[in-house]
Structure 1
Amino acid sequence: MADHELRTVVSGMSFTECPRWHEGRLWFVDFYTHVVCSVAEDGSDLRTEVEVPQQPSGLGWLPDGRLLYVSMRDRLVMRREPDGTSVVHADVSDHVTGHANDMVVDAEGRAWLGNFGFDLMGGADIETTGLLRIDPDGTVTAVADDLWFPNGSVVTPDGGTLIVDETLGNRISAFDIHPDGSLGERRDWATFGELSTSRALAEAIPQGKYAPDGCTLDADGCLWVADALGGRVCRVREGGEILETVSPGTGAFACMLGGSDGRTLFICCAPDFDEHARSAAREATIRAVTVDVPHAGLP
């Protein structure tokens, strides 16, 4: 790794997530202050871009530059128009069984969206769930099912493969993207352990060997993946081999390669992901470290 020294880019947040490098700035959401923000690479010029009362999550941009963002609790994907107003891009409430969550928007303007699948913060039993494709006109189509908390996702540079983290499945899955927008059969991109033998959350979590959350792709085809239960971000080769590890000394929940040369790894950090604790505190940060291989693909 080029530079092992972690530096703090943003501090004083509730729970940062969904980092994206876009047009020379780092964009991210802060769950419990209900905002989408952007900041310069060095941490200066922090801006509130959009307020999202029902809790923001995944971010992406249509080919014409309009921002898409997830409003989690009311299960909407919103679109920011050129005049700054926000409108509903897609209502997914009939298609999801938990909070709408992270997404990636591909070069065609198709948004690939996951959801919790169950009441995570309420401690409900785990239920598998599906993946949605939202076309540029807002049409919603179910494209995959039986996923264990589909979360951070990337699209490869050729636009032909969607890679999806399954946070509670000990695995990262991949799908071929067909020209018509349908997906091929799920296949293992990386596995870290077996699927849980229990759907009870308190029993399943200890069986997690690696809980892949947010991720980012590099030019060698490897993923940097945040481990939501392990307090680390690892560079993972297809198949599951861990090549490098960054441990920020706290929880790590998402990451993004960006910066002027694409070699800055931004990491969303917080003590834990407990909704009540994070809502009451301002302990979340975004930290950064320099790595050797630059960003590739989307986001």
Structure 2
Amino acid sequence: MVSAKGTKSHIHRIFCSVAQKFHSHQHYDAEKVERSKNIAGTSLRGKVAVITGSSKSIGAAIAKALAAEGANVIINYAKDGKSAEEVAQQINSASIASTSASISLPPTSTDVQKNGPNGVELPPQQQAVLIKADTSTISGGQYLLQETLRMFGRLDILILSAGLMGSKTLSEIDEPFFDAHFDSNVKAPLFLVKAAAEVMERPGGRIIFLSTSLTASSTLLPNTLCYVASKGAAEQIARVLAKDLGTKGFTVNTVAPGPVDTTLFRIGTPQHVIDSIAAQIPSHRIAEPEDIAPIVAFLASPAAQWVNGQILGVNGGYVV
């Protein structure tokens, strides 16, 4: 025989169990709704993006693609300031011409106009700014990050586009050649990511490495030894970081282009070799930097929040 007190206790336990399940369901739905709010398509409005090595070629195309989606972009260069200025001017001209763009950026050290109330310094309407820094060194990467934070106070997107691509066979390489590739393509980017991860906006930070489809290709030339080895190392670093930094709400991915028609690609490459490579691509052409940039822009966007730790071959079917 069950006492009234026992019956009351049993009913209380059932009620608590049902309430707990109901509360958990509500909590789950609330989290789901909150995640859906964070999915804002591919717009990068209000984001701050650093693109290393963005004065020309793929890096420049990436900077323009991110700016077209509304991001404030850092054009980074080590030597070619003229090309970097041209990229920034193109972006800023397009921003001014657009009636829908209204992005106010912090002042640079040399370009400030005193036109605010009581002579307060106001920044010019710029969407792209320049920072000279040698990102093949750890100190150069640290300087780039510090200047970005000084200007904008935040960092949302880090694109590791700068790199070294030398051509020497095993019999030709020496220690300085090897070290230069691994410093530029592996060591410096890793430590830049380490520093950036401490200050990037979370959740939602985006880190994207640039590699090469040669890491997965069977048509390799002997003189790509150090380049392919260093890019392969960077790919594996990105895979591991996706597991690590994913706990902070970041994504870490790698874009691996195939042959791209850049000055660097054409130097020392005979036209008949270029034609032969193009013949191996279904569309029978070499990629342009603008073929690569939209994929990077997508990975940098909120819409790509569920793409993490991936190596995306963007090569037109050159490597499948």
TM over 0.5: no
Greater Rg, structure 1 or structure 2? 2
TM-score of the superposition, structure 2-length normalised? 0.30
TM-score of the superposition, structure 1-length normalised? 0.32
Structure richer in strand, relative to its length: 1
Structure richer in helix, relative to its length: 2
